[in-house]
């Protein structure tokens, strides 16, 4: 039997709320306002307004101006489209989700359309450049060493570049854009399969598009963007396989395993979440099927548990093989994040007031911060509604659907991790996964449970909640410096980049070759990406900051480390003496001058020591050749 007809029967054979049922009163007016030409015109105008907001922010306008302009553009583009998806027919919903994919990609694309700007983008762009120049995968990476072992994104970019002849950055954008749109369709198929309703599928895609990582973090040129799409498709196809039979089940299972294989070679954390989730679903399906058999309940005797175990087992086998044969350092890389976050959270419970200040000292306007606080509340209310409805009706739904929804509930406690410095990063990265469950819950509540709880029946209320969650979640994602192009600001990953640093890095690579460099964390991005040079990773055990952040000569152990590791060059940006770093430090959390400027005298001193020669210079950057063997050599006065 064909999978298409098989799946079609599943859908057609059950009660489905048609799209027309979601249509609000006054539908003729709504239909006119959400006709395809109007939606496309609104999307185009909204895109231009978003561009205008970036013009304001780049010119240094007040935050209230560019935030208001940005949201005017986004809402102009997205509100008519979302209404079309919610009220249109099935075909309009499909095209609408495609357009939603384009429009949720646009803000990040316009942020830096021609070159990397985010921290991880520098690393991935350099990795792709190195793959292309060397012709082989698994190239060492100075910015994020672990991406060497996950060549999915760089390999895909290299293949696209070779086939099209486009620049490396544009090839990467094509890859990320495709993955971004595919991810929304993955959510569409997943929700449609589980809730047995195309209308729910389309709304599920909309809810998933609201996740805080979607508009910026997962749309940057990095491995998450590609891997999350494969994660969603693995789950969608596995869910489909669990409901199919015979050849269709085999074909869908094989496709799910193929997507999982792509995920394994692309991103460690996504693979970990895929393993956790598929295991949870497989266990839930097995328990439900066993209980049903015991009760002789034919309706739940086949919960597709075998399919889920195959997907979990195959993914686990591939992941273990990949870890064992290629990516051994992954465990060392991931462990500090988890351990650190849990430790910090438990510490904060003991000491009230410690930890990370959330939503303070930020350029975000108050109304966006309020929405950021309200968004988890709205999601929580939605989850509560779903729980109330499912309490009585959970037997109607398959175990995998309920397990995915239960997994989505983890989003709510994860919001707490924003309070822990290490956990904020982990929480942010988990939302792309937990929102799969939220998408299911959201679509379930809007399409399946709206009849029972009045609040979910009112279109204006739904639209208001949509706007709150959209604005709030984007606000909870990345900070102002990441979201908006701004004038130069020292100490940010994004707005500290300068052509001056880029060309100095390129010139150093030409003059000195493939050398190792000590520099601050912001200049380091340019040095590694554009110069292709290896960077020192300062830490307590290797306090490379000792070259600029102290007034005296570097200590003997540091000198020995630098000499034996061949860190022979130092790049200094004197703007670190003009203002303190926006991110709080220049050499990582252990920087002895964290929160303060580096005194200019400490930088000028490098011109008077016998162990450093200034070989390249601009107004703001200085490159020194180190010869620490001359440490202690007396410098003679002038002749």
Partner 1 sequence: MNARRTSGTAAHRAATLALVVAVCAATALAAVPSPIALRSFVAFSLLVLVAGYHGTTLVLGHPARAEVGADGDTGVGGLLRVVLPVLLGMLSLMAVASLLGLSGIPISTGSVAVGTGSTALVLLVIARWGAPRPGAPGWAARRAARRAVRVAVAVLVLSAAVAGAVGLRPTPVERYAQLALDEPDVVAGRQLSARSGAPVTLRWTLRGYGSALPDAEPAVGVTIGGAPASGVRADVGPVEPGTEPGVVAERRGAVTFAAPVAEGHYDVRVTVGSGTPLLLVVGLRATS
N-terminal to C-terminal alpha carbon distance within the chain? 95
- With respect to partner 1, which residue has the nearer C-beta, 460 or 513? 513
Q: Which is nearer to partner 1, 335 or 560 (CB)?
A: 560
Given 31, 182, 406, 574, the residue binding partner 1 (CB under 8 A):
182
Binding mask 196-235 for partner 1 (x = CB under 8 A): --x--x---------------------------x---x--
CB 347 to partner 1: min, Å: 42
Q: Over the range 586-595, which residues count as b (16 or more CB within 10 Å of their CB) and which as e?
A: bbbeebebbe
Cβ 623 to partner 1 shortest distance, Å: 8
> 259: helix, coil or strand?
helix
* Nearer CB in complex with partner 1: 52/280: 52
Among 5, 335, 539, 560, binds partner 1 (CB under 8 A): 5
Nearer to partner 1, 178 or 362 (CB): 178
By CB under 8 A, the residues from 32 to 71 that bind partner 1 are 36, 40-41, 43-45, 47-48, 50-52, 54-55, 58-59
168 vs 462 by CB, closer to partner 1: 168
Strand intervals (E) in 482-584: 516-519, 534-535, 567-573
Q: Which of residues 406-465 bind partner 1 (CB under 8 A)?
A: none
x/- map, 103-142, partner 1, by CB under 8 A: ---x--xx--x-----------------xx--xxxx----
Contacts of 244 (CB under 8 A, 6+ apart): 3, 6, 7, 10, 252
Task: Report the nearest approach of partner 1 to the CB of residue 316 (Å).
Answer: 19
- Contact set for partner 1, span 461-490 (CB under 8 A): 485
Shortest reach from residue 192's CB to partner 1, in Å: 5
Task: Write out the binding residues for partner 1, residues 620-639 only, by CB under 8 A.
Answer: 625-627, 630, 633-639
**Strands 534-535 and 516-519, how do they pair?**
parallel
Q: Which is nearer to partner 1, 177 or 417 (CB)?
A: 177
| Residue 21 binds to partner 1 (criterion: CB under 8 A) | no
| Min dist. Cβ of residue 436 to partner 1 (A) | 17
How far is Cα 596 from Cα 580, in angstroms, rounded to an integer? 5
Instruction: Point out which span in 256-264, 294-302, 352-360, 592-600 binds partner 1 (CB under 8 A).
Output: 256-264
- The nearer residue to partner 1, 166 or 342, going by C-beta atoms, is 166
Residue 22 beta carbon to partner 1: minimum distance, rounded to whole angstroms? 17
**What does the CA dihedral 342, 122, 358, 598 come to, rounded to 10 degrees?**
100
Apex 259 CA angle, 253 and 261, nearest 5: 105
Choose, by CB under 8 A, the member of 63, 145, 155, 459 that binds partner 1.
155
Q: Taking contact as CB under 8 A, which single stretch among the options 173-181, 330-338, 398-406, 423-431 is the one that binds partner 1? A: 173-181
CB of 237 to partner 1, least distance (A): 9
Q: Which is nearer to partner 1, 54 or 411 (CB)?
A: 54
What's the CA gap between 104 and 99, in Å, rounded?
Answer: 9
Nearer to partner 1, 425 or 500 (CB): 500
User: C-beta of 360: minimal distance to partner 1 in Å?
Assistant: 30
Q: Which is nearer to partner 1, 369 or 622 (CB)?
A: 622
**Smallest distance, partner 1 to C-beta of residue 610, A:** 6
Is residue 309 near partner 1 by the rule CB under 8 A? Answer: no
Q: Which is nearer to partner 1, 157 or 585 (CB)?
A: 157
Residue 195 binding partner 1, by CB under 8 A = no
Q: How many CB atoms lie within 10 A of CB 583?
A: 18
Output 362 or 613, the one with its CB closest to partner 1.
Answer: 613
Residues in contact with 383: Cβ distance below 8 Å, sequence separation at least 6, in sequence order: 408, 409, 412, 438, 441
169 counts as binding partner 1 under rule CB under 8 A = no
Assign 211 to helix, strand or coil.
coil
Q: Which region among 217-225, 352-360, 378-386, 497-505 touches partner 1 (by CB under 8 A)?
A: 497-505
**Interacting residues with partner 1 between 86 and 105 (CB under 8 A):** 90, 94-95, 99, 102
601 binds partner 1 (CB under 8 A): no
Whole-number Å distance between alpha carbons of 610 and 630: 6
Residue 252 or 281: the one with the smaller Cβ distance to partner 1 is 252
Residue 176 or 375: the one with the smaller Cβ distance to partner 1 is 176
Q: Tell me the β-bridge partners of 144.
A: none
Tell me how far the alpha carbon of residue 416 is from its chain's centroid.
Answer: 18
Burial state string for 470-493 with b = 16 or more CB within 10 A and e = fewer than 16: bbbbbbbbbbbbbbbbbeeebbbb
Label residues 11-27 b or e (16+ Cβ within 10 Å = b): beeeebbebeebbbeee
- Which residue in 162, 245, 293, 578 binds partner 1 (CB under 8 A)? 162
Q: How far apart are CA 143 and CA 207, in angstroms?
A: 34
Residue among 469, 453, 402 at smallest CA distance from 195:
402
State the nearest-atom distance from the C-beta of 548 to partner 1, in Å: 15
Torsion angle, alpha carbons of 337, 341, 343, 347, to 10: 150
179 or 593: CB nearest partner 1:
179
| Count of residues of this chain found to bind partner 1 when the rule CB under 8 A is applied | 113
Instruction: Spell out a b/e string for 381-390, using b for 16 or more CB atoms within 10 Å of the CB, else e.
Output: ebbebbeebb
* Token pair in block for residue 291: 């209980």
Q: How many residues does the chain have?
A: 639
Dihedral sign of CA atoms 546, 550, 552, 555 in order: negative
Question: Looking at 286-294, 473-481, 531-539, 608-616, which segment touches partner 1 (CB under 8 A)?
Answer: 608-616
* Six-digit token string for 88: 């249109």
| Dihedral in degrees, nearest 10, Cα atoms 233, 236, 238, 239 | 180
Continuous H helices in 517-575: 521-531, 556-564
Binding mask 498-517 toward partner 1 (x if CB under 8 A, else -) reads xxx--xx-xx--xxx-----
Rounded Cα distance between 584 and 157, Å, is 34
Identified binder of partner 1 from the candidate list 156, 209, 228, 439, rule CB under 8 A: 156
Residue 265 binds partner 1 (CB under 8 A)? yes
**What is the nearest approach in angstroms of partner 1 to the Cβ of residue 435?**
19
Structure tokens at 442: 């959201």
């Amino acid at each position: 039997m064909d999978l298409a007809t098989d799946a079609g029967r599943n859908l057609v054979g059950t009660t489905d709320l048609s799209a027309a049922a979601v249509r609000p009163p006054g539908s003729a007016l709504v239909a006119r306002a959400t006709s395809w030409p109007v939606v496309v015109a609104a999307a185009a105008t909204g895109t231009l307004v978003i561009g205008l907001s970036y013009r304001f922010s780049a010119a240094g306008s007040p935050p209230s101006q560019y935030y208001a302009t940005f949201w005017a553009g986004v809402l102009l583009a997205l509100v008519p489209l979302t209404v079309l998806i919610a009220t249109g027919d099935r075909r309009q919903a499909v095209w609408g989700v495609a357009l939603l994919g384009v429009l949720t990609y646009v803000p990040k694309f316009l942020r830096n359309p021609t070159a990397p700007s985010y921290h991880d983008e520098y690393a991935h762009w350099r990795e792709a450049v190195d793959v292309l120049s060397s012709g082989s995968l698994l190239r060492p990476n100075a910015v994020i060493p672990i991406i060497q072992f996950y060549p999915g994104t760089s390999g895909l970019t290299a293949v696209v570049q070779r086939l099209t002849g486009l620049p490396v950055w544009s090839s990467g954008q094509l890859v990320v854009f495709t993955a971004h749109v595919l991810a929304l369709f993955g959510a569409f198929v997943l929700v449609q399969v589980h809730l047995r309703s195309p209308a729910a599928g389309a709304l599920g895609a909309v809810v998933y598009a609201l996740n805080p990582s979607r508009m910026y973090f997962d749309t940057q040129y990095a491995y998450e963007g590609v891997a999350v799409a494969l994660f969603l498709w693995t789950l969608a196809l596995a869910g489909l396989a669990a409901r199919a039979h015979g050849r269709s089940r085999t074909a869908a299972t094989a496709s799910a395993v193929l997507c999982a294989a792509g995920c394994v070679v692309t991103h460690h954390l996504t693979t970990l979440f895929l393993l956790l989730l598929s295991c949870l679903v497989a266990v839930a399906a097995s328990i439900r099927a066993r209980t049903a058999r015991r009760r002789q309940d034919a309706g739940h005797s086949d919960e597709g548990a075998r399919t889920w175990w195959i997907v979990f087992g195959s993914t686990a086998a591939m992941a273990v093989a990949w870890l064992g044969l290629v990516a051994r350092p992954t465990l060392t890389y991931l462990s500090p994040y988890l351990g650190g976050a849990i430790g910090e959270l438990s510490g904060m419970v003991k000491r009230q007031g410690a930890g990370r200040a959330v939503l303070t000292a930020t350029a975000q306007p108050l109304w966006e911060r309020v929405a950021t606080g309200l968004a988890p509340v709205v999601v929580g209310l939605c989850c509560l509604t779903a729980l109330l409805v499912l309490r009585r009706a959970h037997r109607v739904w398959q175990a995998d659907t309920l397990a995915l929804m239960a997994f989505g509930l983890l989003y709510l406690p994860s919001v707490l991790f924003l309070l822990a410095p290490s956990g904020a990063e982990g929480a942010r990265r988990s939302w792309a996964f937990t929102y799969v469950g939220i998408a299911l819950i959201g679509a379930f509540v809007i399409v399946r449970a709206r009849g029972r709880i009045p609040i979910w029946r009112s279109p204006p209320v739904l639209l208001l909640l949509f706007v709150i969650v959209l604005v709030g979640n984007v606000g909870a994602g990345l900070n102002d410096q990441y979201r908006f192009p701004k004038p130069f600001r020292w100490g940010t990953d994004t707005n500290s980049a300068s052509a001056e640093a880029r060309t100095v890095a390129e010139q150093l690579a030409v003059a000195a070759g493939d050398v190792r460099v000590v520099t601050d964390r912001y200049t380091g991005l340019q040095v590694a990406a554009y110069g292709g040079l290896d960077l020192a990773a300062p830490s307590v055990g290797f306090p490379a900051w000792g070259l600029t952040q102290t007034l005296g000569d570097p200590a003997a152990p540091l000198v020995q480390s630098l000499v034996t590791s061949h860190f022979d060059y130092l790049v200094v940006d004197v703007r670190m003496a003009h203002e303190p770093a926006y991110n709080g430090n220049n050499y990582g959390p252990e920087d002895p001058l964290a929160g303060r400027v580096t005194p200019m005298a400490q930088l000028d001193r490098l011109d008077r020591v016998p162990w450093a020669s200034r070989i390249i210079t601009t107004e703001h950057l200085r490159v020194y050749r180190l010869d620490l063997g001359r440490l202690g050599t007396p410098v003679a006065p002038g002749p």
